[in-house]
Amino acid sequence: MEAVVALLAAGLGTLWWQWLRWSRSQRALVASLDPDVAIALHVAQHEARSREHQSLTAYHLLYGALQVEGIAEAIRATGGDAGTLEDRVLAALGQLSDEGMMMTEDAQRVLSFVYAIAHYHERLASAGDLWCALLRSRAAEVLAEGRVDGRRVLVRLVHRADEPEPGASGPDVLVVVRNDDHTTQAFVSHVLHDVFGLAPDAADALTLEVHEHGKGVVARLPAADARQKILEVRARAREHGFPLWIATEPA
């Protein structure tokens, strides 16, 4: 999926640029967003205008995202301070210089990614899509400085819950993977093969099952072994910014 989204984003980048130039096209753009993302975009544009910034940046988009209650709640639920993060974003906005364009390339990539994900899955763009895109932008630096766990927030936005801590001991458990719209099938297949030792064909088949049915059982393992492998997969997913859900269920 990642390659498809990348191609869509590249091809649609100019379209987003032009959409923001004309109000009629902007209304069409907003129609492709769910209400939360539409609010975030509106707030971002308003903040840029109120500061007389000629360029819309990823920092403006992050500021808009923080006004979405679902995102702010996910930050609080994962141990972050949404208010302190907002202060940092405002400070970053105060230091911006005019880049002389309607939208920076960074902001363009964010919006293109959001649209491409939604277009690929034939649905409205969501707060999770916007947050996932922001994690790949310059605005992610502000999250790190504010000690906000961006990936953990993303997991909560995508899966509506935090990742459960796997047990360190106990009887056998089932290791379960859930589907999402952001983790690539190639990544899932790779970790199933590399971490859990599934043959390549079996890893591909299970990845397809997860994609089509929403979840799949990877293995039955002693709790301690399951914990070790789950933590390794989560670490790899964090490195790539993927919200892959992998956890245990009773056997």
Q: Exposure pattern of 63-93 as b/e (b: 16+ CB <10 Å)?
A: bbbbbbebbbebbeebebebeebbebbeebb
- Residue pair 202/145 in contact by the 8 Å Cβ criterion: no
Burial of 122 (0-12, 13-18, 19+ CB in 10 A): exposed
How do residues 55-114 score in pLDDT, each as one tens digit? Answer: 899 999 999 999 999 999 999 999 999 999 999 999 999 988 765 556 788 998 998 888
Domains of the chain, residue spans = 2-159, 172-250
* Angle between helices 69-77 and 58-66 in degrees, nearest 10: 80
How do residues 1-37 score in pLDDT, each as one tens digit? Answer: 454 454 444 445 444 444 455 445 456 567 789 999 9
How many other C-beta atoms are found inside a 10 Å radius of the C-beta of residue 251? Answer: 13
Domain 2-159 in CATH 1.10.1660.10 = no
Q: 3-class DSSP state for residue 18?
A: helix
- Show the tokens assigned to 155: 């997991």
The CATH fold of domain 172-250: Ribosomal Protein L30; Chain: A, (3.30.1390)
Which pTM does this prediction carry? 0.86
